Structure 1
Amino acid sequence: MALAIVHSRALSGMHAPEVAVEVHLANGLPSFTVVGLPDTEVKESRERVRAAIQVAGFEFPARRITVNLAPADLPKESGRFDLPIAVGILAASGQVSAARLAEHEFAGELALSGELRPVRGALAMAWHACRAGRAFVLPSANAAEAARVAQARVLPAASLTSVCAHLNGLSPLVAQPATPVEVQDDYPDLLDVKGQAGARHALEVAAAGAHHLLMVGPPGTGKSMLAARLPGILPAMSEAEALEAASLHALSESGGRLPWRHRPYRAPHHSASAVALVGGGSEPKPGEISLAHHGVLFLDELPEFDRKVLEVLREPLESGVIHISRAARQASFPARFQLLAAMNPCPCGFLGHPSGRCRCSPEQLRRYRGRISGPLLDRIDLIVEVPSLAPADLRQGEPGEASALVRRRVEAARERQLARQGKPNALLSGRELEELDLADEDALATLSRASERLGLSARSFHRVWRVALTIADLAAADRLGRAQVLQAVQLRRALVEG
């Protein structure tokens, strides 16, 4: 046959849209043209495909070859189309059977020797191929990653020759077994933290309701230590959450491989740019906030970040998604992360320290705290002071509860929320809070008086309400009472006064 159609996948943000690789052979002077909005890497596939076909022992057709990557308006990038283009040429020229092409999807970069090299986005492509009901043929190096999709039929191949033998029925490829689920629970333990009862409790409330938290304290009081232990008390990830998080890390060149069902923990340096934080580039890639999806984003030394960099967090903190627009490409990445931030109380760090070492002027203090805008602070639910501990407390103080014990309470509170409203308290809208009707009249009156006295915005008013509801869930209370509201207001009051 002079025409062959091979199924493959492109990458567009978190999605892997289907691409039909149409190969047509016609009479005329020998040529090799690739159309359908290919980038430079895809155009260069002509030389890789030609060499791989010849080295594999097949005949490269001396005809006019046209390869169309449809849909034409979808940009195509990377070498993942090498394998489907080669298979299409061999099928169109009759050297490979085309009878089973419709049952498969193909992706893989070809070496000049015909060997298959790994590609990015195997997990996302395997998931979409599974939903389309097709087997997925890809390089052996990507097989374990793609096999995390339990229902997918993943066929790893080492070379173009083995793929052709499979299609011709000579030597079928063996399906990769589903990757064993090995949940790694190697998070740092809260047992290592001595003292800091207030900060530990705020951490527990934040974990139970998926609230954002800011810790303020002098250097060396354990803020970073506490932050690193938040993922260990969060509820276990669901299968869908694990797939989303792993797919995002697979899309990033710097994200690395995320252990299965392991909560992401990202802690970028304060010199990070806005693009590094939210993602971007000419070919949009996920940034730190997307790599922290379903996990924790820790920003240490919060005022040291460039203010313009911090301001880009405002939209994803509310929506849980980041939209990246460039002249030629647009992409959207999920960014439902939990923000955990830390800062010193003043430029020198020793305001309120028992030693009295702070010499910062009121103007210095105002400028320092002014680096964090009001709208960003308005999106943070909790603040806690992390004071200095006396040496005697460090030596003789008893360790607190282990993370496993705290996690059990957090999971119980989160289960109450999911059973009641299907999502954590932090994601409830104002209307949903009112429709739940879980607050006593005394509690709502207390909340209203506190809001008027502190001058809280409508956003802050509802955030205090959500935090109070989480405190009630931790106590397994059926109704929201005045005591929970007062505790939540106190935490929010510290934020307003700070």
Structure 2
Amino acid sequence: MFAKCSSMVMTGLQAIPVEVEVDGTRGQPSLIMIGLPNKTVDEAKERISSALQNCGIRIRSIRTVVNLAPAEVRKTGSALELAIAVGLLKMYGEIDWDTTQTMFFGELSLDGSLKSVKGLFPMVLAAQELGVKRVFFPQGNAKEISMIEDLALYPINHLRELLFFKNQSPKPLINSLSSKPQEPKIDVLSQMVGQEQAKRAIQIAAAGRHNILLIGSPGAGKSMLAKAMRSILPPLTKTESVEVTKLYSLKGLAQTGLIKERPFREPHHSTSTVGLLGGGHLLQPGEISLAHQGVLFLDEFTEYQSSVQEALRQPLEDGRIVITRAIGSVEYPARFMLIAAANPCPCGYQYHEAKVCKCTPREIANYQKRLSGPILDRIDLQLKIQSIDPQRFIEPKPKINQTALANQAASVAQIVQLERQQKANAFLSYKELQKFAQIKLVSWQFLSQAAKKFLLSSRGYLKVLRVARTIADLEQSEEVDKKHVIEALAYRIN
């Protein structure tokens, strides 16, 4: 008695097809799982046995072997349980309809009901690429994959529903899913008093996806400026939406369907290196990957452990993170925009207009050393934010929606960049800058002189050019003029 069906497991963001082979022979009654299963998969045999019994299926008194192929791939997660149960049902003769070109995903409860699983979105996309015609999965994951087309989707609530298909071809289960209306964006910039230079810097960062560091006294508006980025950033493109949804599905955070808003992650400064970069015993993505194509906001940046700060060096340059442990190695995308906020000194009031800073020069120097040179060199815009004069709070508020205007300008700039070079300005290499940026000779010459005067590194030199290109895009200028470089340089040596 031999039966076979198909499913998948995730290794990082790679979905690997798994053939579930079930065979029953004479011998001591048992259910044996082979094929490098981890503890979660091995425990599934108890859940599957109870689920089958609670569905009225008699467990045969035979020696049953379940092989999960390929054998060299470690099997993790609970998504294989439905496929194993279907294999047993086929071996028992309870299911006799054709299961070829079909994949099964789902975690079983003891009563036979199905629980949602993590990573279903990338697995179903991979199944579609392999030519699979239909997929059975838990109803709880229905909204997550409802946008996938050209594939018959069968959401089910209970294992017993598969038994109803006996001796007949299953019909797709139509599920009407209403999309959640998009919430209106809050006009954060108009609510802020003053800080015009900071608002300008935030708009530039949003338009070109540049990293930015905000240094200022407590209450100066650093966190508010960072959170305004939610409303300023243009929406994700279709390709970016799929990339982000895959990552969130892997963490079980994509239950609302395709993610269209750019992620905004703000981990606490007590976050560990593993929490930020990813890892753990299942090699899960961390905060930098969950911020992929979006924003990673690190408030109180100087309070993060030095090892956590320095761990950001490579992801900021490469846009990816490779996690290697004894059990294997996985790669996750991490193309995020970093917004870091910090106080200028231990008491926080070095730049305050009224309050007197109580810190000694030595204390200030030691505090600012928490931001290492290599990290600062990777941040495109560095801005000192002054405190606000209380008299400005009685000024009339602007009647125009500043956030909407900034969002519109950033969206137009993004379209221009994608049409010109297929990527944001922040990610241009030196050769791509030469090819696409259209930088005037006088701009090159001015920046070369400034680089000698202010001792800019090669990385810093290129970052100034990238920011200058973004400023030119916001002004809808085809060429990068000297004035664009001057403004970009001001954010670098502020």
Q: Same fold (TM over 0.5)?
A: yes
Matched, 1:60 2:59: yes
Secondary structure of 1:17's match? strand
The TM-score normalised by the length of structure 2 is 0.95
Other-structure match for 1:111 = 109
Other-structure match for 1:376 = 375
State which drifts further: 169-178 or 283-292.
169-178
Alignment deviations for residues 161-209 of structure 1 (CA, whole Å, 9 cap, x no partner): 1123236427635144576474444456322222110000000100111
Aligned-pair CA distance for 1:148: 3.4
Other-structure match for 2:31 = 32
Other-structure match for 2:475 = 475
Return the letter of the residue paired with 1:127: L
Task: Output the CA distance in 2 between the equivalents of 1:188 and 1:28.
Answer: 71
Matched, 1:309 2:301: no
Say if 1:283 and 1:329, in contact at 8 Å, map to a contact too: no
Aligned-pair CA distance for 1:124: 1.8
Aligned-pair CA distance for 1:350: 0.8
Other-structure match for 1:432 = 432
Q: What does residue range 455-470 of structure 1 map to in structure 2 within 5 Å?
A: 455-470=455-470
Say if 2:242 and 2:258, in contact at 8 Å, map to a contact too: no
Return the letter of the residue paired with 1:485: V
State which drifts further: 417-426 or 436-445.
436-445
Aligned-pair CA distance for 1:120: 1.2
- CA 1:150–1:6: 2 relative to 1, 3 Å: same
- CA 1:106–1:97: 2 relative to 1, 3 Å: same
Say if 1:278 and 1:289, in contact at 8 Å, map to a contact too: yes
- CA 1:405–1:190: 2 relative to 1, 3 Å: same
Matched, 1:78 2:105: no
Matched, 1:387 2:386: yes
The TM-score normalised by the length of structure 1 is 0.94
Return the letter of the residue paired with 1:480: V
Aligned-pair CA distance for 1:397: 4.9
Task: Output the CA distance in 2 between the equivalents of 1:415 and 1:41.
Answer: 46
- CA 1:259–1:265: 2 relative to 1, 3 Å: farther
Identity of aligned residues (%): 38
Q: What does residue range 13-28 of structure 1 map to in structure 2 within 5 Å?
A: 13-28=12-27
Alignment deviations for residues 145-168 of structure 1 (CA, whole Å, 9 cap, x no partner): 121334443211111111232364
Aligned-pair CA distance for 1:109: 1.2
Alignment deviations for residues 115-150 of structure 1 (CA, whole Å, 9 cap, x no partner): 112211122222222222321111111111121334
Gaps of 5+ in 2: none
- CA 1:258–1:155: 2 relative to 1, 3 Å: closer
State which drifts further: 314-323 or 431-440.
431-440
Alignment deviations for residues 94-125 of structure 1 (CA, whole Å, 9 cap, x no partner): 221152x1121101111221111221112222
Secondary structure of 1:10's match? strand
Task: Output the CA distance in 2 between the equivalents of 1:372 and 1:470.
Answer: 26
Task: Output the CA distance in 1 between the equivalents of 2:32 and 2:220.
Answer: 64
Say if 2:48 and 2:81, in contact at 8 Å, map to a contact too: yes
Q: What does residue range 75-474 of structure 1 map to in structure 2 within 5 Å?
A: 75-99=74-98, 101-134=99-132, 135-166=134-165, 168-169=167-168, 172-176=171-175, 180=179, 182-186=181-185, 189-252=188-251, 260-399=259-398, 401-436=401-436, 438-474=438-474
Aligned-pair CA distance for 1:255: 8.7
Secondary structure of 2:59's match? coil
Secondary structure of 1:148's match? coil
Task: Output the CA distance in 1 between the equivalents of 2:108 and 2:456.
Answer: 60
Aligned residue pairs total 492
Aligned-pair CA distance for 1:492: 0.7
State which drifts further: 209-218 or 141-150.
141-150
Task: Output the CA distance in 1 between the equivalents of 2:322 and 2:167.
Answer: 44
Say if 2:437 and 2:480, in contact at 8 Å, map to a contact too: no
Gaps of 5+ in 1: none
Aligned-pair CA distance for 1:258: 8.1
Say if 2:144 and 2:255, in contact at 8 Å, map to a contact too: no
